Structures are given as C-alpha cells and as structure tokens.
C-alpha cells in the first residue's frame, strides 16, 4: 500500500533476504560508476580534475557534469558521451539479484510483473500547477500522492480544485506540517475541517468511532497521516533522482482571525479540496524559490 | 511469548502496533518508546525479542538508535517501520546497519506479523 522500490518490495515479501539484496547493491555500486569515475575511465579527465571540481562544488551549486564543462575539463559532447556510457553500462537491481544468484531470470520477470501491479496505483496523474513554480514535477507528486492517500487510506470522496498562488492563508483548521529539505525545500501543510480530521483519525487508529478520543490523539493521527504522505512523496521523488529528507511532523496552531503570511523567499501554493457535506481540506506548500 | 518493543513518536501508530501485537496470539508488547534514546533505555530494561522502530522521530532518530543498538548487541532484531521505507538510500542504510527488514507505512497487520514471525 506504499511507494516502494523493487529491492524493498522483494525483501518485504520475503522473496530475497536482506543479505542477498545487500550483495546485489554492492555489485551495483562496483559496476555503476559515478559520472566523474566514468569520465576518468574514458580517459577524458584525471582524478585530480575530479577533486578540483568537487572543491569547486562547495562554492558553486551545480551538478558535477555541468561544472566539469564550465571548468573546461570536459566538452559538452564528451559529457553527453559519458552520460550515454553510464546508461549503457547501468546494472539494474533485478539483474544484479540474478547475478548474485538471489533470483532466477524467470522469477525476476514474475516479480517485476507483481511489482508493477503493486505500484500501478501510484503512477502519477497530471496535476496543474500555477506558472512560475520551480521543480514542478516534485510538487505535482506532492499533490497527486496526497489525493491518492486521501482516497486509499482515509476513503474520502472529494473534488480537488485548481491550485493557486497565495500570499497568505487562514489558519483556523491548520493542524500539521512537515519540512522537506534536500534537492528542493518546502514546508508541506495540511489543513482539515473537524469531520475530516475525525475521518483521518478513524483510519489511522483503525477505530469505528473516535468521538471519545482526546484532541491530542486526533491531532497525532493527522500528523501521522501527513508523515505517511510526505514519506511516500520523498520515496516517489527519489525514483526521479530527487533527494528529499523530511523532518518529523509538527502541529501548527494559530488563531483563526490571524492569517499567516507566506515568508519572504518562498512561494505559497494552495490546493483546495472539497469534500462532501461542505467539509474542507487544503494543502499548502511554502516552496523555497 | 515473544516481547516486542514499539518505537515511534506517534501515539496513534504505537496504539495501532500494540493492538496488532497483543491480538496476534504469539507476541506481546514490551511497551512504547517515543524516540531513539528512550528505545535504547527500554531495550536495556525490558530486553525485548524484537524492536519495531520508526526512522523519522524528533530527538534521536531511528537510524541513529539502530546504530547504537547494533553496537551494543549485534544479535538484536530490529525491523524499521517507516514512511521513508521506499526511499532507496534510507532503506539500504538501515539494512547495511543491521535492520532485519524495512516495512513501509501505511502498513497492514498481516504483513507486519508475517515479517516478525519469520525472524
């Protein structure tokens, strides 16, 4: 029921042991050379060049390949050749598991089919974002996975509205937020009206009735839902090569009459969601630009 | 009956896991720690057979606690239960440190019991 990568799927199902998976990962690490190492292997640059470029990366927020071109250590054509060679030589985890005798080729095909079926529910749908947002693919994943988890974990029927840029937002229903750091940075906030919070708590606690639960438990359930959604966003983003770390969720409390202003250096994007019976949810992303 | 220590900052997750463990018939809860430091202390006091531990916790996180627990006892059986399970680097780091398995959230009861019964 969660976003997984193939190796984890196999260990969780007990198809391969964690020891065999580690052997396969080690084989991958030996065979899948990093860009700099591949460029050295192809005779384009030296290890000293890699060290110089790594030092330059401390003061220059660029990918190694682009930096090597900027420093005139590689030509753009050579960079393309190196990337192409990396793709050609890439050893995927399934192939590595066959090579370390953890799986037969036939079993690999069967497991890949089962994995695709398991993950089909997380194939991204197109989400429309306002113009001018950087790293759009990550924020599309964030909204899309929230919608999918609201359907699959909470069982809500809802209608998402078009996302809009906001400079402030009201805080009455806001409960939980999580900070994303890494290749991109943002705060993810989930705002939900009372009945929606209770629906989330019922699903997280697996209880039919939560009326007698203290507010602390309801809030904790919503925080946990946000934690699960954001962990799965990080997992999905990592499949596209985007590294995201999440911090533990926090409760946000603010008086209803005091709107929260989007901080300087961030752009606020609101994703309003209408639930039956007039209940509401809103996701707000405060994206560092 | 094997004792299972639950480590998660969320009281709602701990409640769910305790219910699954106590209703399983072959496991019993050894209590609930809310961060890595508490987990190390409770592991010493309760001597559980299995530890189910979250990764993303305030204070000492799950991976730091896993490293400490493994340094104290290489045989300790830790299964990470985390929303970050699908992040390849986190999964690999946990397995390299000695976690017996990594279960992604949202989880289902049968999967958790199947995995800990196989340890």
Minimal-distance CA residue of chain A relative to B80: A12
Q: How many angstroms separate the CA of residue B64 from the nearest CA in chain A?
A: 14
pLDDT digits (tens, 9 = 90+) for A178-229: 999 999 999 999 988 888 999 999 999 988 999 999 999 999 999 999 999 9
- Give pLDDT tens digits for A116-134: 998 887 776 778 888 888 8
Average predicted confidence (pLDDT) for chain B: 94
Which among A231, A236, A248 has the least Cβ separation from residue B105? A231
What sign does the CA torsion over B79, A121, A190, A180 have? positive
Nearest to B97 by CA among B116, B84, B78, B82: B78
Which of B12, B58, B88 is best to mutate for the A interface (most A CBs within 10 A)? B12
**Nearest residue in B to A226, CA atom:** B83
From B56's Cα to the closest Cα of chain A, the distance in A is 6
Mapped onto helix, strand or coil, the DSSP state of residue B4 is strand
Q: How far is CA A268 from the centre of its chain?
A: 19
Domain boundaries, chain B: 2-117
Alpha carbon A195 to its chain centroid, in Å, reads 28
Residues of A in contact with B87 (CB under 8 A): 231, 234-235, 238, 244
Tokens for A259?
A: 């709107």
Q: Rounded to a whole number, what is the distance in Å from the CA of B104 to chain A's nearest CA?
A: 6
Taking CB atoms within 8 Å and a gap of at least 24, the contacts of A119-127 are A119/A3, A119/A4, A121/A148, A121/A152, A122/A3, A122/A148, A122/A232, A122/A236, A124/A236, A127/A163
Query: Per-residue pLDDT for A77 more than 70?
Result: yes
Chain B's closest residue to A213, CA to CA, is B12
Average pLDDT, rounded, for chain A: 89
For an interface test with A, which of B6, B10, B111 has the most A Cβ atoms less than 10 Å from its Cβ?
B10
Domain ranges of chain A: 6-121, 126-288
Tell me phi and psi for residue B84, to 5 degrees: -95, 10
Give the percent of chain A with pLDDT over 90. 60
Per-residue model confidence as pLDDT tens for chain B (119 residues): 999 999 999 999 999 999 999 999 999 999 999 999 999 999 999 999 999 999 999 999 999 999 999 999 999 999 999 998 778 888 999 999 999 999 999 998 999 999 999 99
Q: What pLDDT sits at residue B97?
A: 94
- The distance of B115 to chain A (nearest Cα, Å) reads 7
Q: Among A2, A12, A206, whose Cβ lies nearest the Cβ of B105? A: A2
Domain A126-288, CATH class in plain words: alpha beta
Cis ω for the linkage preceding A208 (within 30 of 0): no
Q: What is the pLDDT of residue A124?
A: 67
3-state SS, residue A207: coil
CATH number for the domain running over B2-117: 3.40.50.2300
Q: How confident is the model at residue A171 (pLDDT cuts 50, 70, 90)?
A: low
Q: How confident is the model at residue A5 (pLDDT cuts 50, 70, 90)?
A: confident
Distance of CA A92 to the CA centre of its chain: 21
DSSP string, B38-66: HHHHHHHHH--SEEEE-S--SSS-HHHHH
pLDDT for A256 equals 62
- pLDDT bin (cut points 50, 70, 90) of residue A173 is confident
């Amino acid at each position: 029921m969660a976003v997984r990568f193939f190796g984890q799927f196999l260990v969780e199902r007990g198809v391969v042991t964690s020891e065999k998976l580690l052997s396969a990962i080690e084989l991958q690490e030996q065979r899948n050379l990093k860009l700099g190492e591949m460029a050295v292997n192809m005779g384009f640059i030296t290890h000293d060049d890699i060290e110089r470029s790594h030092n330059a990366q401390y003061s220059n927020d660029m990918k190694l390949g682009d930096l090597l071109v900027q420093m005139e250590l590689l030509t753009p054509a050579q960079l393309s050749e190196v990337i192409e060679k990396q793709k050609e030589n890439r050893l995927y985890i399934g192939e590595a598991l066959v090579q370390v005798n953890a799986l037969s080729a036939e079993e690999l095909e069967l497991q890949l089919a089962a994995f695709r079926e398991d993950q089909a529910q997380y194939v991204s749908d197109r989400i429309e974002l306002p113009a001018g947002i950087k790293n759009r693919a990550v924020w599309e994943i964030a909204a899309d996975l929230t919608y999918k988890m609201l359907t699959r974990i909470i069982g809500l029927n809802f209608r998402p509205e078009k996302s809009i840029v906001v400079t402030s937002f009201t805080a009455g229903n806001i409960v939980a937020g999580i900070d994303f750091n890494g290749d991109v940075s943002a705060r993810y906030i989930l705002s939900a009206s009372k009945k929606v919070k209770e629906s989330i708590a019922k699903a997280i606690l697996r209880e039919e009735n939560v009326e007698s639960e203290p507010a602390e438990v309801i809030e904790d359930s919503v925080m946990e839902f946000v934690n699960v959604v954001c962990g799965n966003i990080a997992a999905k983003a990592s499949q596209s090569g985007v590294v995201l770390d999440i911090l533990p969720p926090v409760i946000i409390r603010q008086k209803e009459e005091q709107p929260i202003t989007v901080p300087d250096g961030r752009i606020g994007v609101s994703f309003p969601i209408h639930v039956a019976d007039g209940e509401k949810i809103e996701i707000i992303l405060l994206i560092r630009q | 009956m094997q004792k299972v220590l639950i480590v998660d900052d969320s009281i709602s997750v701990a409640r769910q896991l305790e219910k699954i463990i106590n209703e399983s018939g072959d496991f019993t809860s050894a209590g609930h720690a809310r961060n890595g430091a508490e987990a190390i202390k409770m592991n010493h006091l309760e001597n559980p057979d299995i530890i189910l531990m979250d990764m993303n916790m305030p204070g000492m996180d799950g991976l730091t606690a896993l490293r400490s627990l493994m340094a104290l006892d290489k045989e300790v059986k830790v299964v990470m239960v985390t929303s970050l399970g699908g992040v390849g680097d986190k999964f690999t780091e946990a397995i390299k440190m000695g976690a017996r398995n990594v279960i992604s959230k949202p989880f289902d009861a049968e999967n958790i019991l199947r995995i800990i019964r196989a340890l």
